[in-house]
Every structure is written in structure tokens, then in C-alpha cells.
Structure 1
Amino acid sequence: MTSQFLGFKPEALQLLEALTENQNRVWFAEHREEYEQYVREPMKAFTEALSEALAKRDIPLWGDPKKSLYRINRDARFSNAKHPYNMHASGLFTRTGDKHSSGVLYFRLDPLGSRVAAGYLQPESHVLKKLRLGIVNHPQAWLAIEKTLKKKGYALDYSHSLARIPRGIEDIPSEVESAVKLKGWIVRKQLPRSSICSKALLKEVASFASDLLPLLSFGWHALEAAP
């Protein structure tokens, strides 16, 4: 069965925009029904429809409306920002369908700038080391991926990088040294409001996932390689 999803309504972004200015529980309680109607339920429908679209392209990523979406309530215990609600809606698509699998497709509905992203963001230390070893052991394959991404107009985020060669990694080919120093490997694409509210949103996000599949697959192979 194909899930029907025709894009988010403008009210979704309008409500999230209003939430940024009304970070209090009384206001949210008064607007919870609108949140469910314009944000939460459409996010669930988007998750199901995109999972089907990805499956049709043989992309091994999917999302579960119950496990893949982030809650609107924030855990502010360890944050300096104490506002109680997230001012965006987001979710992850992974090989397992939950948020605890390496190699993800991320979608964010945000009045300040919606976007989609894919790759390996802030991986755990043991995952990070295997990804780096994958690049060191297969430098030409890695360079081919970066070249292909560049041709399609994408660029890895190099803003979070180590100043020195990471410990435990030796004999790094000079041409991939900067990639090995990265703390994560992620590509982002901004989504204008015209895309968010369009029935073409599914195709645009699925096409992005298809373009980024080589990067994700490279990481999966690295993680599954023998130690």
C-alpha cells in the first residue's frame, strides 16, 4: 500500500514559528491540537511515505513513525538553553528504522531553514575509528566518492575536524589526511518552503538519499570489515 503524502501545509511552519516566540507550556497546551494536525501527524505520514519511496529505489533506509521521530519536548537538563520545546520537527531514517544505527538520512522541518542531511554525524569512538580506517585502507575509493559528490553539487562538512592526526591511525595517504581528521562525515541540503509544501518533496528527498548512498555504503562496508 502506498502512503499518500502531498507535502506539509504552510500552517506547519507557521505553528513552529509561533512556538519559537511562545516557549511556555500554557501556550503549547492551547495549541497542541494544531501541532498534532499540522506537524506531528504529517511527519508520521512523511516518514511512512518516504520509507516506501526509498524502498522502491533499493535504498536500505527506513523510518518508524513511533521510533524515528524526535519528540517536541526538549531535555534541557544538560543544556544552557532552558526552553521546554524544540522549535523544529525532525526524524532519522536508518537501516534498522530507529535512531541507534550508524549511517543516517536526517530530515528537519524548520521555519528557520528546513533541510535534509545524510552521512555519519558525531559517531561513537569505536565507529569513528573504523570509518577512519576505511578511508585509510581504501583512499582511492574514498576520493572517488568525494569527486562524485562534488560533481552533483554536494560538499562534505569540513567544519568539525581534528587539528592533528588521530591517535591509533598510521600510514595515512596525504590525499585523504583531511578526511581522516574529520569528526564526522555529513552532507546537508537546504529545502526551501516551496519544496516543503510541495508534493515533490518526497522525490527531492529520495533523490538526495540516492545521491548520498555511495557515502553511506562506504561507511557500512568499513564498519562491517574485519578488525
Structure 2
Amino acid sequence: MIQQEAIAFLKDLAENNNRDWFQSKQDSYQKYRKHYLELAQELLSGVQEFDLGMADVEAKKVVFRINRDIRFSKDKSPYKTHMGFWISPAHANNPKAGYYLHVDPKGSFLAGGIYMPEAKDLKKIRTEIAFFYDDLQEILSEKKFKTAFDDLQRDEHTLKTAPKDFEKDHPAIKHLQLKSFIVQRDIPFDDLFKSNFISDVVANFKIIKPLNDFLNRAFDVAD
């Protein structure tokens, strides 16, 4: 479960998002950071039980620095006020779908898939969908998946028509229009403190695995 103290720290940080306050709360931050890493390890261990592709992932690679990148942001608040966990074998030269958990006093969720891949990788995924749409449909229509996530999310980046080189009347057109291939589920605030919180998240990630496997197939094709 998430510790109440960790959520309290994030709330306080949101109200005092400046370097002086943060430096004065180093004891609290170190406790929060320790809990953050422990959660990452527990979450990762759960995923590694069903996804062998995550065998070499380390817990320290699952978490994010608390410092925000404010170089190109209008919001100059220096620190992140949420916990993020990204479990994927991806690295700079090897994009992969994965699993994400977002813990935030203002709203938490879990998700999976791949967000805004580069153009060449987006083309690979769309090609996989176009040629093997039946495989994707089987995953998305599976009862547990449908109950947990319903369908891939559409967002402001979704195309209004067919992408270049794909047919407008393709049966997979609503998925070919996507630029991200994500499923997401909101987490009620009180659920963060339940003893089975992590196991519940892992169970949802397990439902996402067939989708991730399908998306990652696209990257196995030679350029």
C-alpha cells in the first residue's frame, strides 16, 4: 500500500514547491524516496512474475527524479508532486510498450502501452495493426480486458482521417488514426491505502500484457 506519510509529503510539496522548503525537509524527502523505491521494487517483482521481458529491468530505472525539467515549461515549479513508475525494457534506441502507475493526491491511474512513438516507430505499429488487425481485436474484445479498459484511448492527437499510406476504409481505421496506443484506468483515492493495492495494480498490468506484446511485435521487424 501507499504510506499516508508519502501522500502527505506530496501534498505539502504541492503547497510549498520551492527549493528552500524542499531543502528544509530533507529528512521527510529521504523517507519518501525510500518508500518510493520500495514500492518500485514490489511493483517490478510482481510484473516480472508474468512478463519475462522485464527480467533485466532494475527498480532504480522504474522511478523518476523528483526534479522537473522546466527549461521549456511555463510552470517553473522545480519539483514533481506525484510518484510515477514506468516498467519497460525500453531505452533511447529501443522503444517498447510498458506499464505505468501514477500516484497523485489529485488523481491516480494505471496505464499501459506506448505513448507518442517517433514517426518511424508509429509507422511500424500502424503497419502491424493493418496487417494483423484480427489479433488486436481478439485482445481488445477479451472479457477481462474489456471490463478493465474497454478500448485504446483517443486523444487530441488522434487523426480525423486515415494516416498517409493507409486506406480510409480499413476495418482498423479507428486504431490506425491513433498516435499513442494506451489503455488507462483511474484509481480511487482510498484504494491507495489498501493492503492489496500493489497486487491489484499488478493484476491489471497482467491484463495489459497481451496488448504490449502485440505492440512490441512491431519493433521485431527489420527496418
TM-score where L is the length of structure 2:
0.89
**Which AA in structure 1 matches 2:46?**
A
Query: Would you say 1:185 and 2:205 are equivalent positions?
Result: no
- Number of aligned residue pairs: give it: 219
Query: 1:154 Cα deviation (Å)?
Result: 3.3
Superposed CA offset, 1:60-95 (max 9, x none) = 336523322111111101111111111112121013
Query: 1:59 Cα deviation (Å)?
Result: 5.0
Q: Report the equivalent of 1:161.
A: 158
Give aligned-pair identity as a percent.
27
Q: Report the equivalent of 1:129.
A: 123
Give the Cα separation in 2 of the matches to 1:60 and 1:116: 19
Query: 1:129 Cα deviation (Å)?
Result: 0.7
- The verdict on how the C-alpha distance between 1:96 and 1:177 changes in structure 2, with shifts beyond 3 A counting, is closer
Query: Would you say 1:47 and 2:40 are equivalent positions?
Result: yes
Which aligned pairs between 1:190-205 and structure 2 lie closer than 5 A? 190-205=186-201
Q: Report the equivalent of 1:3.
A: none
8 Å CA contact 2:51–2:209 kept in 1: the answer is no
8 Å CA contact 1:116–1:190 kept in 2: the answer is yes
Q: Which one of the candidate residues 202, 210, 219 is aligned to 1:206?
A: 202
Give the Cα separation in 2 of the matches to 1:101 and 1:36: 32
Give the Cα separation in 2 of the matches to 1:29 and 1:161: 42
**Which AA in structure 1 matches 2:197?**
L
8 Å CA contact 1:67–1:97 kept in 2: the answer is no
Query: Would you say 1:36 and 2:34 are equivalent positions?
Result: no
Superposed CA offset, 1:151-210 (max 9, x none) = 44433211230123222x334653210100101111112222332222312211111111
Which aligned pairs between 1:1-227 and structure 2 lie closer than 5 A? 7-37=1-31, 39-58=32-51, 60-61=53-54, 63-95=57-89, 101-148=95-142, 149-159=145-155, 160-167=157-164, 169-171=165-167, 174-227=170-223
TM-score where L is the length of structure 1:
0.87
Give the Cα separation in 1 of the matches to 2:92 and 2:199: 22
Give the Cα separation in 1 of the matches to 2:95 and 2:107: 25
* Paired residue secondary structure (1:40): helix
**Which AA in structure 2 matches 1:165?**
A
Gapped runs of 5+ residues in structure 1? 1-6
* Paired residue secondary structure (2:61): coil
Give the Cα separation in 2 of the matches to 1:192 and 1:171: 40
- The verdict on how the C-alpha distance between 1:11 and 1:82 changes in structure 2, with shifts beyond 3 A counting, is same
Give the Cα separation in 2 of the matches to 1:212 and 1:128: 19
Query: 1:48 Cα deviation (Å)?
Result: 1.2
**Which AA in structure 1 matches 2:160?**
A
- Of 40-49 and 172-181, more deviation after overlay is shown by 172-181
Superposed CA offset, 1:19-55 (max 9, x none) = 1111111111111221221x31112111111222122
Gapped runs of 5+ residues in structure 2? none
- Of 106-115 and 188-197, more deviation after overlay is shown by 188-197
Query: 1:105 Cα deviation (Å)?
Result: 0.6
Give the Cα separation in 1 of the matches to 2:95 and 2:27: 32
Give the Cα separation in 1 of the matches to 2:138 and 2:169: 15
**Which AA in structure 2 matches 1:183?**
K
* Paired residue secondary structure (1:118): strand
Give the CA RMSD over aligned residues. Answer: 2.2
Superposed CA offset, 1:102-153 (max 9, x none) = 1011111211112211001111111111000000001111222221232444
